[in-house]
A and B are shown apart, each in its own frame.
Chain A
Amino acid sequence: MKKISSLKISISGVRGIIGESLTPQLAAAFAQAFGTYIGGGPVIVGQDARPSGTMLKQAVISGLLAVGCQPVDVGICPIPSFLFLTKESKSSGGIAVTASHNPKEWNGMKFISRDGLYLTPHQTEEFLDIYHQGEFYFVEPERYKGLKTESNPAGPHLKKLLSYFDVDRIRGKKFKVAVDCSNGAGAVLAPRLLEALGCEPIFIHCLPDGAFAHDPEPLPENIVEICRTVREGKADVGFVQDADADRLAVVSEKGEPLGEESTLALAAQYVLGKTPGPVVCNLSTTQAIDDIAGRFGATVVRTKIGEINVVERILAMEPRPVIGGEGNGGVILPDIHPCRDSFAAMCVILEYMAASGKRVSALQKSLPQYFMIKEKVSGSAEQAYRLINLLKKNYEGKGRIELSDGLKVRMNDHWIHVRPSNTEPIIRVIAEAKSREKAKAAIRTLKREISALQRKI
């Protein structure tokens, strides 16, 4: 395979490797294009806890100032709080310096509209047109706006969470909660939230210094430490946030990780039980969602991968979906704000525990049992495209083929999904089945097929 470029420009924003593709010049140019696109006004600028965040943020601030915007520097801020603030403060938009769960050498930018939502694919297209044309709306210094700072960017979000959930009920339980913030932006709000919920927290990796104590993806293999903390601290539950605090993984009181697919399933089971309504999730999300929705007579709508695709569908649907999200631990409660929110997810699960009086392991048992295996092979989007075209033939007649985002095949007792990542030059390979053995067998077959085709792509 040829050398893969480390710069990714997609509907999830811009990502690249510091010291290689993602330079301050590039970041400033994107900020200028964004400022030109939104036509001035206040722009919230924040960062996750990566050490390269300050460098990129300064580049973004300089680009925004040059085109007459007023950057509002919020420092390190969880992404759901950031999105909420952008809407609440009536800003013209926002730029978040983050590479979400990518490894530490990466960083990037996410662009946010005045509604506090990621740019839609159409908006992204318009904005990228401006970037590519390179004609930015530089203003004269007389029309420069000063730089502002906001020291409590998570405040409005916290207030909303506390007004939305049954705080008294959670407080009454005095839960002991172990939290791993992955030394990410979640550390800014998690302590305040848990204190307000009357929980006794045990924090690990709670310094937002960007020294990712573990790989920032909240996968079971990364959460050995929180499992031990839950067991040794006799906690009622353990939570792991990813570096920008939009996703959440849950650990039971026995110190066993539930698997990231269970986060949305648990949340959906509780929310639908209270308020039945449509559910929106992406193509890779566990089949358990369909089973749970079925129990409550609710419909499930599936979208392409990418948070904005889920959000756009949520906003377009009537009646309004009650919950949405992604199997990667991303829970969306549209009534709070249409974005993935690890804090809202924590609140839902704590309220579920309080309302049901059940332990997390018991709640987990009440979920439809599926086993999902997610793997990745390296490859560019182009290679993924050719791979999918060839692979498709292997599955013709074997199940229901869906091609809206990569290749998804739903067979009798399992499904597989192969697609290019939007954020890294890798191909994601996923299989889910009722049993672990079946899932393993499916992924084994799939990977064998891929390596057989690799020479042709």
Chain B
Amino acid sequence: MKWTSAACDIYSGSAPPSVSKGMKLLKIGISGVRGIVGESITPRLVMDFAAAFGTYINSKPVLLARDTRISGPMLQAACTAALLSTGCAVLDLGVCPTPILQLLVKPLMAMGGISITAGHNDIKWNALTFISRDGTYLNSFQGAEVLDIYHLGKFKKVATDRLGRVKAAEKAADAYFEKLGAFINAEAVAEARFKVVIDACNGAGAKFIGRLAGLLGFELIPINHEPNGFFPHDPEPRPRNAQQVVSIIKAVGADVGFLLNSDVSRVSIVTETGESLSEEFTFPLVAHDLLEDDCGSVVTNLSTSRMIEDVARSRNCPLIRTKVGQSYAIQTLLQENGIMAGEGSGGVALAKFQPAFDGFLTMAVILEAMARRGKKISQLVKELPRYHIVKEKIYCPPTKIHSVVNEVKKFFRGHEMDTSDGIRVEDKQGWVLVRTSGTEPMIRVIVEDSAKDRARQRADEVIHFINLIIK
């Protein structure tokens, strides 16, 4: 237990106040655009991106959903107007988590979707995530096409008679829970009569976890259960934000606690003993359980803990590492015909359910594992190997962030470097990854090691070197 709480202490970095000084933050990635509302996220920007997406979709139906952020209705109205203007019908899911939207794309016969959510970012942020007709994040080719249309600025404009219409589709979420109920052994979970604490952080999950509880027959003890967009803590599932769950879990005698991000694509776990597990545990826990019966390729990213390597090896399954980001992991999962994909941030996808990081599925699978194996969550965790991981982030002006990361190569001179996403150096004891954040003007430094002191020491050395370059 000690190292996990230590890890959460070490993971100290939140954005320094200098972040938004002068520089407007806008992150355009392959599957979406993210920024600070009122600075870079304006109706104009949102409309232009949504119109570019609508032009790409070419006047076909598009699913639209948002998390509970206070800025959500602004972005939703802007997306709706722009999509309609390109002739796309808008199937409005209202407040709805991204994985539910992703699963509904095909049954609702939509040709794509936009999820309005900034996931784990704080309330100042919002973002559009573009979903393909397959229900996945856009891949790099699809994303490049949308971006080309955006940059060209030539959006499809249809005449009055051919404008899209808005259709309310909130009821469609039923289909998601039907499919989840068929996938999970709900009866086995119900028989276990679990008591589960879930902190949805007043995000989109708050609207739906009651249905999950009904489906799986557990007693739900909800925390931050109002889908009102006021985040009592950062909506990032990790030990630092778990205090509320930790403080009640023993008192109420719950079997497990879950933390969700604002769109239910990530989960972290609190054990029945009140131990707040690093979000790195979520994926290995799922893998450890499911790979026993069903072997196949496991996909993860370069910054995820070695735990998953050990788990995959122990089950004789190949492990593939990709660049960081849901799109890369899922594309590789599909290309390699893999069995599951996941990230150290708490996102897990099972190919047999849907190619998307899905927090509802993750919770359901973990509860099923507890029920089937008749074990407490703390016992399941004990079966996993333990490493010491240090995650830090350092603010760096976005205009020189990539050159700074490139300079870090000098620090590792003489070692073998994997540069597919930042710089990753690995040895027997552990690994170091230095990469630019996909969502903020931050350089992330992640160090994992079998020895706690050495992890901290390696991280400090790298951070010191980076700070010298920035100055």
A449 at the interface (CB under 8 A from B): no
Interface 0/1 of A135-172, CB less than 8 Å to B? 01011111010110000000000000000000000000
Which interface class (under 10, 10 to 19, 20 to 34, 35 or more) fits A?
A: 35 or more
Contact between chains at A25 and B44 (CB < 8 Å)? yes
Known: A104-B160, A146-B73. A24 touches B124 (CB 8 A): no
A50 at the interface (CB under 8 A from B): yes
Minimum CB distance partner of A105 in chain B? B160
Known: A54-B165, A59-B78. A32 touches B43 (CB 8 A): yes
Which of A19, A24, A58: most chain B CB closer than 10 A? A24
Instruction: For B78, give its contact among A50, A58, A138, A140 (CB under 8 Å).
Output: A58
Interface 0/1 of A48-77, CB less than 8 Å to B? 001110111011011101100000000000
Contact between chains at A25 and B38 (CB < 8 Å)? no
Interface 0/1 of A6-47, CB less than 8 Å to B? 000000000001111001110111011000000000000000
Which interface class (under 10, 10 to 19, 20 to 34, 35 or more) fits B?
A: 35 or more
B184 at the interface (CB under 8 A from A): no
Interface 0/1 of B98-116, CB less than 8 Å to A? 0000000000000000000
Minimum CB distance partner of B80 in chain A? A58
Contact between chains at A19 and B74 (CB < 8 Å)? no
Known: A58-B84, A62-B78, A66-B74. A138 touches B42 (CB 8 A): yes
Interface residues of B in 72-126 (CB under 8 A from A): 73-78, 80-82, 84-85, 123-124, 126
Contact between chains at B78 and A141 (CB < 8 Å)? no
Compute how far the CA of A136 lies from the CA of B45 in the bound complex, rounded to whole angstroms: 14
Contact between chains at B78 and A24 (CB < 8 Å)? yes
Instruction: For B166, give its contact among A54, A104, A136 (CB under 8 Å).
Output: A54
Instruction: For A140, give its contact among B38, B44, B80, B84 (CB under 8 Å).
Output: B38
Dominant SS among interface residues on chain B: helix
Residues of A within 8 A of B423 (CB): none
Contact between chains at A141 and B48 (CB < 8 Å)? no
Minimum CB distance partner of B125 in chain A? A141
Residues of A within 8 A of B391 (CB): none
A211 to chain B, nearest CB (A): 10
B322 to chain A, nearest CB (A): 33
Compute how far the CA of A146 lies from the CA of B69 in the bound complex, rounded to whole angstroms: 11
Known: A19-B158, A51-B163. A62 touches B123 (CB 8 A): no
Interface 0/1 of A342-378, CB less than 8 Å to B? 0000000000000000000000000000000000000
B9 at the interface (CB under 8 A from A): no
Contact between chains at B77 and A52 (CB < 8 Å)? no
B70 at the interface (CB under 8 A from A): yes
A29 to chain B, nearest CB (A): 7
B461 at the interface (CB under 8 A from A): no
Contact between chains at B37 and A28 (CB < 8 Å)? no
Interface 0/1 of B145-178, CB less than 8 Å to A? 0000000000001111111111000000000000
Instruction: For A23, give its contact among B38, B85, B161, B164 (CB under 8 Å).
Output: B85
B132 at the interface (CB under 8 A from A): no
Residues of A within 8 A of B80 (CB): 55, 58
Residues of A within 8 A of B81 (CB): 24, 27-28, 55-56, 58-59, 62
Instruction: For B163, give its contact among A18, A61, A65, A146 (CB under 8 Å).
Output: A18
Compute how far the CA of A27 lies from the CA of B85 in the bound complex, rounded to whole angstroms: 12
Minimum CB distance partner of B85 in chain A? A24
Compute how far the CA of A455 lies from the CA of B73 in the bound complex, rounded to whole angstroms: 53
Compute how far the CA of A25 lies from the CA of B79 in the bound complex, rounded to whole angstroms: 11
Contact between chains at A28 and B38 (CB < 8 Å)? no
Instruction: For B71, give its contact among A20, A59, A141 (CB under 8 Å).
Output: A141
Compute how far the CA of A18 lies from the CA of B165 in the bound complex, rounded to whole angstroms: 14
B47 at the interface (CB under 8 A from A): yes
B336 at the interface (CB under 8 A from A): no
Interface residues of A in 105-124 (CB under 8 A from B): 105, 107
Instruction: For A25, give its contact among B39, B47, B75 (CB under 8 Å).
Output: B47
Contact between chains at A28 and B85 (CB < 8 Å)? no
Compute how far the CA of A346 lies from the CA of B144 in the bound complex, rounded to whole angstroms: 58
Minimum CB distance partner of B162 in chain A? A19
Residues of B within 8 A of A144 (CB): 37, 70-71, 74
Residues of B within 8 A of A55 (CB): 80-81, 84-85, 163-164
Interface residues of B in 285-318 (CB under 8 A from A): none
Minimum CB distance partner of A54 in chain B? B166
Compute how far the CA of A291 lies from the CA of B398 in the bound complex, rounded to whole angstroms: 74
Compute how far the CA of A368 lies from the CA of B42 in the bound complex, rounded to whole angstroms: 57
Which of B44, B48, B166: most chain A CB closer than 10 A? B44
B349 at the interface (CB under 8 A from A): no
Contact between chains at B77 and A65 (CB < 8 Å)? yes
B46 at the interface (CB under 8 A from A): yes
Residues of A within 8 A of B71 (CB): 65, 141, 144
Contact between chains at A66 and B43 (CB < 8 Å)? yes
B458 to chain A, nearest CB (A): 38
Compute how far the CA of A295 lies from the CA of B47 in the bound complex, rounded to whole angstroms: 58
Minimum CB distance partner of A106 in chain B? B160
Contact between chains at B73 and A147 (CB < 8 Å)? yes
Contact between chains at B74 and A62 (CB < 8 Å)? yes
B56 to chain A, nearest CB (A): 17
Compute how far the CA of A55 lies from the CA of B77 in the bound complex, rounded to whole angstroms: 9
Compute how far the CA of A128 lies from the CA of B158 in the bound complex, rounded to whole angstroms: 27
Compute how far the CA of A51 lies from the CA of B164 in the bound complex, rounded to whole angstroms: 9
Residues of B within 8 A of A139 (CB): 38
Known: A58-B80, A62-B75. A23 touches B124 (CB 8 A): no
B333 to chain A, nearest CB (A): 34
Which of B71, B158, B164: most chain A CB closer than 10 A? B71
Compute how far the CA of A144 lies from the CA of B123 in the bound complex, rounded to whole angstroms: 11
Instruction: For A59, give its contact among B43, B69, B126, B161 (CB under 8 Å).
Output: B43
Minimum CB distance partner of B78 in chain A? A62
Compute how far the CA of A45 lies from the CA of B123 in the bound complex, rounded to whole angstroms: 27
B330 to chain A, nearest CB (A): 29
Contact between chains at B161 and A29 (CB < 8 Å)? no
Interface residues of A in 82-122 (CB under 8 A from B): 104-105, 107
Compute how far the CA of A20 lies from the CA of B81 in the bound complex, rounded to whole angstroms: 15
B38 to chain A, nearest CB (A): 4
Residues of B within 8 A of A63 (CB): 43
Minimum CB distance partner of A138 in chain B? B38
List 19 contacting pairs A-B, 8 Å CB cutoff, sorted by A. Answer: A20-B157, A23-B85, A28-B43, A29-B44, A51-B163, A52-B163, A54-B84, A55-B164, A58-B78, A58-B81, A59-B43, A62-B46, A65-B74, A65-B77, A66-B37, A66-B38, A105-B160, A141-B37, A141-B126
- B-contacting residues of A (Cβ < 8 Å)? 17-20, 23-25, 27-29, 31-32, 50-52, 54-56, 58-59, 61-63, 65-66, 104-105, 107, 136, 138-142, 144, 146-147
Across chains A and B, which 6 residue pairs bring their CB atoms closest together, nearest first? A62-B77, A24-B81, A59-B81, A65-B74, A62-B78, A58-B81
| 5 further A-B pairs in the complex, CB-CB below 8 A; given A25-B44, A62-B74 | A50-B160, A52-B160, A55-B84, A59-B77, A139-B38
